[in-house]
Each structure stands twice: as C-alpha cells, then as structure tokens.
Structure 1
Amino acid sequence: MRRERRIKIIATLGPASSTPEMCAKLFQAGVDVFRINMSHTQRETLPERVAMLRALETQFRRPVGILADLQGPKLRVGQFGGDGGAMLEKGERFVLDSDPAPGSAKRVYLPHPEILSALEPGHNLILDDGKIRLVVEKASPKQAVTRVTVAGRLSSRKGISLPDTTIAVSAMTDKDRSDAEAAAEAGVDWIALSFVQRPEDMADLRKIVRGRALAMAKIEKPQALLRLEEIIEASDSIMVARGDLGVEMPLEKVPGTQKRITRLSRRMGKPVVVATQMLESMITAPVPTRAEVSDVATAVFEGADAVMLSAESAAGEYPVEAVTMMNRIAEEVENDSTYRSILDAQRAEPEATGADAIAKAAHEITTALNLKAIAAWTSSGSTAFRLARERPNSTVVALTPNRSTARQLTLVWGVHAVVTKDASDIDDMASRACKFAVREGYASLGDRIIVVAGVPFGTPGATNMVRIAFVAKEHVDQA
C-alpha cells in the first residue's frame, strides 16, 4: 500500500474510531499516523490501544505511526457558591484570590499560586475559551484585582488562559510525566507536549522519554513564539495547535503565525504538523465547508509535513469520510500546476554539513533528470529527515533495518519507509534499492533512481554518498 501524496494525515482515536475494524478503514482511507489523546485515555489502557494499531502493520504490511498527545496543565478557576456560577458585568471589578471559599459575583478562588505570583498589571486573562476577558489592575501573590472587559457568566472550574503571562513552572504535570513514561514504555513513536513555553519544557520531556520515542512540541501559547527557534531546535517536530493558540491571541494573527512556524520548522529540518478544526463541520456533516477545504489546502501548499484530524475522527459521525476528504484535497493540491513553484519558493539553503549537501545534491539530480525515486538507506532516520527538508520532486523510499525508525518516518513529508536488513556492500546497496523501488511501485524497468547512503554501512549520521542506479530486469524479477 502506498499513498499518492507527500503530506501525511494524522487522525485522532476516540469513541468513533476505537475498534480494529474502524481503524483499518481509516488506514485504508489515508491515515498515516494515529493520535492517542491522553486527556481522554487512561495509561492502563494505552498498551491495548497500541497493540490494536500495531496489528494494522501485520494486516497491511506497512509501518503505522502512533502519536501520544499529553494533556498538559489544565488551569481552572475554583468553585462558585449558589447555583455554581456568577454573571460578570463589563467594567466591574472581579478578584481572583488564594481563598478556597466558594466564589461570588465579586471574587473566585484561583487554585494556582504560580499564576497569582506571575500576574502583573496590564496582563489579560481569558476565561471559558474566550467567552470572558479580564485585565489585571493590581496583583500580589495573594490576589489579583481585575476589570471585566468582556462580560459573561463564569461557572465553576472553567479554564483560564494567560496570553501575557509566563508561568515559572514546567509544561508537564505529574499526570503528564506518568503518561509520558507509560507511552514510551508502550512503544509509541511520537510524544507531544502541550502548552510548551520554553525549550526547557522539551528537555523535561526528553529526560523521561530517554530516546524511546521522538518529542513533539505543541505551539499553542504566545510565550512560545518568543523563543520559537530555540524550542524547534530542542524538539524533533512541531505542531501548530491552532485551537488554544486562537484563544490566547487575536484570531486574525493565527494564519500569519501558522506560516511563520511552518516555514521556520521547514528551514530547520523539523517536521511540522498543522492541527485543529481543519474539517470541523464534518463532525456532523458528510461534506466540509469551502473554507475548510481552503484551510487544508493552505497547509499543503505551505509544505507542512502533516495535517491532523481531531474530533472529526475521534467523535464525529463521518470519520472515514473526513479522512477520505482530507486525502482527496491533499492529492488535488499536490497535482496543481502552482504547487511546485510555491513549495520551491520556501526552500531554505542547506546547512554546512555533509548530510545537507548530499540531500541538496540528490534533490537537484532528481529534478534535472526527472527521476522517479530517491532510495535512502538510513538507520536512525536522519538521512530521510534531511532529504524531506529539501521537498524533492521524487518520493523518498527510506530503507531501514529499524522498525521503530520506519514508524517514526510515517510522519515525515514524502517519505515511504520500508523495513529491510542493512546493505552489505555498495553493489548490494544499489541492487536492493532498485528492487524495493520497483516493489513499492515507485520505479519500473529502465528507470533510474537516486541512492543515498552512508559508508561504512550501519553508522548513524554518516550520510556521505549519492549514486544514480539503473533499474534492470533482475531487479524487476526480484521484486
């Protein structure tokens, strides 16, 4: 099974997609990576879900990627007295304090002393997903006196967002640490950390994971944008999590921010995922809106590595249709006459390393000779990552002896991973590269392909060779 597109599709598991039969349908429809949302998954049931998805590999004889998405800190106000809420009127003062007594129309408990310590006059507070807004007038470690700028009814335990405030605590809660350990132990391929603010947050995740999975930073707080390059450098990939990002910053700034994150991630060679509300209307409707189609298409034109479905596949009425639609949009955009010129306009110059120089050379050779495939021998996956950064015209057939590497590469743009034993010598390298290019449907008799590898074989990070190979009859017979 191979995809007719370069961008990858991530689908979230949930009540609508929790059976092996539905997961198989979603994979056939186009899913490359399945997301397990740890906000709604008990770590005790995680191994069972992972095993269900791994069974798809046996069924379809293809690597299947698994992404565990950590919940992150959920900041909420305390309880209200009376009927469990209060009406906050515009222009009135409202106090957030450290008193656990039930709240009223004048005040409420904020069970997060780290927030009270970090607030300053002029900081904005956003409550209940943007329905209510406050601005701080006075602040102390015991209470914050605010003025209501957007009125509304505030109920018990509603969420609070802090677009102007950097909280001096890790993005990881005790639950996240436990879930990250469980996810790494269960053998997931990627672990995403929510509400990242600084590169140190990613360092915390890496200490727990210890190389057992790759680390993804979710950019959903304005504070992360202040140190974006450092965060990308500290991560294996990035997710543009537009839901919370759109709550914590003006909505009109989100599209430009998305482009900035996407382009910087591409320049730094880190896979980037665009997520949230991509086909939102398909939760209850069998077709998306025109605006949603354009939204998905924009991510494809921008060269994102993957686009993600959340509630559409987790709890929607049309999960298979949503994946099918996303697949069709991606294929159509990638066949558009303007796609390649837009993609190439965003290419970054390679870094001054041998691996990047080889990747650029492979791209230029495939373009000049109009070759069908680039076969990349890779142990850790780094060679395939660098080739994908170039966004070549040809599919990267990543040949790896490590099944975990093949699974991780299911998230990466334009990479088709195959698990096979490492090459024994240069002739074997070229011969089996041709054989697998034919077997996987990316080359045929008489075609030429590019072969990229590192000598000595099996040495991670030693990419130092590019070769043009000819597909002969023996390769077709072996395939």
Structure 2
Amino acid sequence: MKRLRKVKILATLGPASSEEDMIQKLHEAGADLFRINMSHASHDLMRTLIERIRKVEKRCGRPIGILADLQGPKLRVGKFADGALELVPGQTFTLDKNEKPGDASRVHLPHPEIFEAVEAGHRLLIDDGRLQLRAEKSDGDKIVCTVVSGTKISDRKGVSLPDTTLGVGALTDKDRADLEAVLATDDVDWLALSFIQRPEDLADVRKVARSRVGLMAKIEKPQAIERIDEIIELSDALMVARGDLGVEMPIESVPGLQKQLTRACRKAGKPVVVATQMLESMISAPVPTRAEVSDVATAVFEGADAVMLSAESAAGDYPVEAVSTMASIARKVERDPNYTSIVHAQRSQPEATGADAISLAARQIAETLKLSAIVCYTSSGTTGMRASRERPQVPIIALSPVIQTARRLSVVWGLHCVVTEDARDLDDMVDRACRIAFREEFGKPGDRLIISAGVPLGTPGATNMLRIAYIGSDGMTGI
C-alpha cells in the first residue's frame, strides 16, 4: 500500500473504531499507526485491539505501528455534597485533606504531593482552566486559595499546576500496572508518557522498558519545556500534546512552542507528533472547519513526522472521513510550491558520524540526479531515521529484516517500510532493492535509485556505502 504523502497519521482507537473491519478501513483511509489510550482501555481490551491490528497488518501486508498511551498522574478534586456549585471571583476557597464532601468553602484534594509542593502565589487550574485559583498559603494540610476567574466547580474535575513541580515521577500505580501489561504483550512499538516534568521521568521508565518499546515523551507541562533539550536526548520521540499544554501555559504561546519543538526534534533526528483537536469538529460533522484545515497544514509545512487524531477517530461519528480528510490535506500541502523551500530551510547540519554523512550524500545525489528513490537497509531503525532527517524530495524505502523495527518506523516522516531478509551479498543487496522498489511502485524499468547499506552486511550501525543502480526490465538490477 503506497502512500502518496510523507507525513504519517496516528489514529486513536475507541468505541467508534475498535472493531477489526473499522480498523482496516482506517488503515486503508490513511492511518499508519494506531494509539491505544490506556486512560480508557482495560488490559483485556488492549490485548484485543492489538490482536485485531495485527490481523489487519497481515491482511494488508504492511507493517503497522501501535502506540500505548499511559494516563500519567491525573490530578482531580474530590466530590461535593451537591455535585456542583458556583463560586465568586475574589472569594476564599480551600483545598484540604478532609475526605468529607465539599461545599462552597472547601473540597477534598486526594493528592498529598500537591500539599507538599504548592507555594503562595502558585496557580491551580480546575477543569481545564475554566476555574483559576491562586494559592495564598499552604501548611501541608490545606491550601487556602483565592478564586481568580471562573465560577463553576463540580465532582472529580481535573487539577493542573503550571507553577508547581511535583515531587513524584511520571508513573502512577495504574501506569506501572499498565506498563507491565503492555510489555507482557511484546507487541507494542511505542509507549507515550504523559505529564513528563523532567528527564528523570524518562530514565525511570527506561529502566523498566529497556529497549522493548520506543519512549515517546508527551510535552504538556511548562516544567518539561524548561528542560526540553535533556528530555529530547533521553526520549525516542516527542508528542506535542497541545490540549494540556494550552491549559498549563498561555494559550497564545502554543503555536510558537509547536514550531520550536518540531524544529528541535528535527535537529536531533527524533520523530515528533503534533496532537490534539486537529480536526475536532469532525467528531460530529463530516467536514472540518477552515481553521482546522489550516492547523493540520501548518504541522505538515513545519515537517512534523506525524499528525494525530484523538476523539475524531476514537469516538466520533466520522472516523474514516477524519482520517481520509487528514491524508488529503497532507497530500495537498506536500505538493504546494512553497512546501519544499519551507521544509528545506529548517534543515540542520549533519552530525559528524558516518551514518549522517552517508544520509546527506544520498539525499544530495538523489536530488541532483533526480533518482526515483532512496533505499536504505536498516536493522535498528537508526539509518532510516537519519535518511528521514534529511527530508529528501524523493521517496525513502526502508528495508529491514526486523518486523519490530519496521513497525516502529511507521511514525517516521517519509519512510515506506518493507520487511525483508538481510541481503546475502552485494549483488543480492542491489537486486533486492531494485526488485522491491519496482514491486512497491517506486520505480519502473530504466529508473535509477540510490542504495545505502553497511559492509559487512547485516551489521547494525555500520552504514558506510552508497550504490546507484538501474531497475532492469524484469524489476531486477539493470546496467
């Protein structure tokens, strides 16, 4: 299945898209990998969804990535005697450890770590920022606040703390149980970590997960922005989670942060996913708003590796239409006369490594000679990601003998992944590349392509060779 675009689409599965036939429809419409939201999925449902995705993968003959998204430390207030109440800006309102139902003056906050960390002047945002409180004092048992804006508060609404660094890790007890279940399947490719605050949060998970899954850090807190370089270095990919990021930071700063994070990841050669409310109106409408189309286009123009659908594909009325619309927008943007110049203007200098130098040379040769494709052999996925980092104008075919590598690369910009056994020798390497490029419709007899690989063959991380080859009349090597 050849995609006519380079940006990838990550679709969330949910009540509207959990059946096998719908998963196949989403894949055929353009979804390259699927997200399982562990905030809502039980372990049994997770295993069922994985099984259904793998059946679709086998039927379609294309590697499909799976991302499990951990809930993270979701903070909520307790319950009220009347379920909800109205507050008045300027009044005093207290959060405390008393488990009795709340009233107009106080409510239970079942999170001891907040009492230990909040200081006078810190903001507490309730219900996605609809209610804003300012801490006046905290004695370890209660936080006395002033209502700054908003009026309504009700049972179990979420609490955000943009000014406070909590002394807890990114994993709750639920997350640890979910992580164990994810790793036990041995069939999930990416793990998304919610509410990352510091690089240590990633290091803690890495000790447990090791290299069995790629770690994707979700950036949604100002504390993460402050240490973003370290977080990028320790992660395998980033997600710009604009929903919570727009709650915890001034909403007008989110577009600029999206660009900064996208460019930082491109420079580091790490995949970046732009997520949240991209086609929000398509939850209940068959077409998006013009502003949403522009939003998706902006992420594509910036060179993001992937764009994500959340409720649009998980619980909306038009999941297939949402995927096909996103794919259509991406194809149109990538054909825009300005696209190439915008993407290439952000190109970074390669690092002083053999793999980077080879990837740069492959891109320059392919574009100068107008070759049909770049074919790279990659066992660990590093060579494929380095080829993608160059954002070449020609297609990239990533050949890997490791199915897990091909699935993980499904989130990476421009990579068309094919699972194939390692080449036996140099002749087989070239023949195999030409044959697959012909079969996958990236070249026809007489076309040329460039192949990158490592000698000795099959040695991970040893990319050190380039070869230009013709596709022969039978799809094999020509002259």
Superposed pair shares fold, TM > 0.5: yes
Q: Which residue of 2 aligns with 1:445?
A: 445
Q: Which residue of 2 aligns with 1:146?
A: 145
Give the superposition deviation at 1:116.
Answer: 1.0
Q: Match for 2:391: what amino acid?
A: R
Structure 2 Cα separation of the partners of residues 314 and 46 of structure 1: 14
| Number of residues of Structure 1 aligned to a counterpart in Structure 2 | 477
Q: Which residue of 1 aligns with 2:126?
A: 127
Map 1:42-441 to 2 at 5 A.
Answer: 42-81=42-81, 83-186=82-185, 187-441=187-441
The answer to whether the 8 Å contact 2:273/2:305 transfers is: yes
Cα deviation code 1:322-368 (max 9, x no counterpart): 11100100000000000000000111111111111111111111111
Normalising to structure 2: TM-score of the pair?
0.98
Q: Match for 1:323: what amino acid?
A: V
Cα deviation code 1:422-449 (max 9, x no counterpart): 0111221112111111111111111111
Structure 2 Cα separation of the partners of residues 180 and 357 of structure 1: 37
Q: Match for 2:398: what amino acid?
A: A
Structural RMSD (CA): 1.2
Give the superposition deviation at 1:303.
Answer: 0.2
Cα deviation code 1:129-177 (max 9, x no counterpart): 1110011111222222111111312112111000111101001111111
Q: Which residue of 2 aligns with 1:40?
A: 40
Q: Is residue 454 from structure 1 mapped to residue 466 from structure 2 by the alignment?
A: no
Give the superposition deviation at 1:105.
Answer: 1.3
Give the superposition deviation at 1:219.
Answer: 0.4
The answer to whether the 8 Å contact 1:358/1:465 transfers is: yes
Structure 2 Cα separation of the partners of residues 379 and 161 of structure 1: 41
Distance 1:383 1:477, change over 3 A: closer
The answer to whether the 8 Å contact 1:126/1:162 transfers is: yes
The answer to whether the 8 Å contact 1:284/1:318 transfers is: yes
Structure 2 Cα separation of the partners of residues 287 and 42 of structure 1: 32
Q: Match for 1:295: what amino acid?
A: D
Consecutive unaligned residues of structure 1, counting only runs of 5 or more, are none
The answer to whether the 8 Å contact 1:177/1:208 transfers is: no
Identity of aligned residues (%): 60
Structure 2 Cα separation of the partners of residues 55 and 359 of structure 1: 34
Cα deviation code 1:196-240 (max 9, x no counterpart): 111111112222222211111000111100000111111110000
Q: Match for 1:398: what amino acid?
A: A
Structure 1 Cα separation of the partners of residues 54 and 383 of structure 2: 25
Normalising to structure 1: TM-score of the pair?
0.98
* Structure 1, 13-22 or 42-51: larger mean CA deviation: 42-51
The answer to whether the 8 Å contact 2:431/2:477 transfers is: no
Q: Match for 2:129: what amino acid?
A: G
Secondary structure of the corresponding residue to residue 421 of structure 1: coil
Q: Match for 2:142: what amino acid?
A: Q
Q: Match for 1:165: what amino acid?
A: T
The answer to whether the 8 Å contact 1:10/1:306 transfers is: yes
Give the superposition deviation at 1:477.
Answer: 9.5
Distance 1:476 1:453, change over 3 A: closer
Give the superposition deviation at 1:476.
Answer: 4.8
Structure 1 Cα separation of the partners of residues 218 and 165 of structure 2: 16
Structure 1 Cα separation of the partners of residues 317 and 83 of structure 2: 32
The answer to whether the 8 Å contact 1:432/1:475 transfers is: no
Structure 2 Cα separation of the partners of residues 195 and 104 of structure 1: 30
Secondary structure of the corresponding residue to residue 475 of structure 1: coil
Structure 1 Cα separation of the partners of residues 37 and 83 of structure 2: 29
Cα deviation code 1:276-316 (max 9, x no counterpart): 00000011111000000000000000000000001001111
Q: Match for 2:54: what amino acid?
A: R
Structure 2 Cα separation of the partners of residues 477 and 20 of structure 1: 39
Secondary structure of the corresponding residue to residue 41 of structure 1: coil
Q: Match for 2:95: what amino acid?
A: L
Secondary structure of the corresponding residue to residue 460 of structure 2: coil
Give the superposition deviation at 1:101.
Answer: 2.4
Structure 2 Cα separation of the partners of residues 333 and 69 of structure 1: 29
The answer to whether the 8 Å contact 1:99/1:109 transfers is: yes
Q: Match for 2:123: what amino acid?
A: N
The answer to whether the 8 Å contact 1:120/1:139 transfers is: yes
Secondary structure of the corresponding residue to residue 44 of structure 2: coil
Q: Which residue of 2 aligns with 1:467?
A: 467
Structure 1 Cα separation of the partners of residues 312 and 46 of structure 2: 21
Q: Match for 1:127: what amino acid?
A: I
Secondary structure of the corresponding residue to residue 172 of structure 1: coil
Structure 1 Cα separation of the partners of residues 227 and 139 of structure 2: 27
The answer to whether the 8 Å contact 1:38/1:69 transfers is: yes
The answer to whether the 8 Å contact 1:355/1:464 transfers is: yes
Structure 2 Cα separation of the partners of residues 69 and 85 of structure 1: 30
Consecutive unaligned residues of structure 2, counting only runs of 5 or more, are none
Q: Match for 1:457: what amino acid?
A: L
Secondary structure of the corresponding residue to residue 55 of structure 1: helix
Q: Is residue 16 from structure 1 mapped to residue 13 from structure 2 by the alignment?
A: no
Structure 2 Cα separation of the partners of residues 435 and 317 of structure 1: 42
The answer to whether the 8 Å contact 2:434/2:477 transfers is: no
Secondary structure of the corresponding residue to residue 44 of structure 1: helix
Secondary structure of the corresponding residue to residue 121 of structure 2: coil
Give the superposition deviation at 1:45.
Answer: 2.6
